[in-house]
Amino acid sequence: MTDLFTRAERWLADDPDPVTHDELRALLDRRDEAALADRFDARLELGIAGLRGVLGAGPNRMNRAVVIRTTAGLCAYLLAKLPDAAERGVVVGYDGRHMSRRFALDTAAVIAAAGITAHVFEEVAPTPLTAYAVKHLRAAAGVMVTASHNPPEYNGYKAYWEDGAQIIPPQDEGIAAAIDAVPSVASVAREEHGARVKPVPAEVTEAYVTAVRALSPEQGRHTPLTMVYTALHGVGNALATLVLARWGVVHSVPEQSEPDGKFPTVAFPNPEEKGALDLSYALAKRVGADIILANDPDADRLAVAVPRGDGWAQLSGNDVGVLLGHHLLTEGDLSGDRLVAMSIVSSPLLGVIAKRLGVRCEETLTGFKWIANRAMEVEAATGARFVFGYEEALGYSVGSLVRDKDGVSAAYVAAGLASALKTKGETLSSRLEAIHREYGFFASGQRSVTARGADGMAAIAATMKAFRERPLTALGGLGVVATRDYQTGVRTDAGGAAAPIGLPPSNVIAYELEGGSRVMLRPSGTEPKIKFYFDVREEIAAGEAYAEGAARAQRKMQAAIEEFTRESQARGGL
Catalytic residue numbers, as ranges: 148
Cβ neighbours of 118 (radius 10 Å): 29
CA distances from 520 to 72, 480, 573 (A): 38, 12, 17
Under 8 Å between Cβ of 55 and 155? yes
CA-nearest of 360, 357, 517, 518 to 438 is 357
- DSSP assignment of 428-467 equals HHHHHHHHHHHH-EEEEEEEEEE--HHHHHHHHHHHHHHH
Under 8 Å between Cβ of 320 and 302? yes
Q: Going edge to edge, which strands form the sheet with 90-94?
A: 51-54, 154-160, 141-145, 90-94, 118-120, 197-199
Under 8 Å between Cβ of 233 and 260? yes
Under 8 Å between Cβ of 509 and 446? no
Query: Length of the chain in residues, anyone?
Result: 574
What are the contacts of 276-282 at 24+ separation with CB within 8 A? 276/232, 277/230, 277/303, 277/305, 277/312, 277/314, 279/230, 279/253, 279/255, 280/228, 280/230, 280/253, 280/305, 281/305, 281/311, 281/312
- Residue spans of beta strands (DSSP E) within 309-459: 311-314, 338-343, 360-364, 385-391, 395-398, 441-450
Under 8 Å between Cβ of 91 and 190? no
Contacting residues for 59 by C-beta, under 8 A, at least 6 apart: 11, 39, 40, 42, 43, 44, 66
Q: For residues 230 and 436, what is the distance between their CA atoms, to the nearest angstrom?
A: 29
CA-nearest of 462, 468, 454, 460 to 532 is 460
Q: For residues 363 and 349, what is the distance between their CA atoms, to the nearest angstrom?
A: 12
Contacting residues for 445 by C-beta, under 8 A, at least 6 apart: 533, 534, 557, 558, 561
Share in percent of the chain as helix, strand, coil (round to 5): 40, 25, 35
Torsion of Cα atoms, 399 then 243 then 218 then 427, to 10°: 110
Under 8 Å between Cβ of 412 and 213? yes
Q: Going edge to edge, which strands form the sheet with 385-391?
A: 360-364, 338-343, 385-391, 395-398
Contacting residues for 526 by C-beta, under 8 A, at least 6 apart: 47, 48, 49, 52, 150
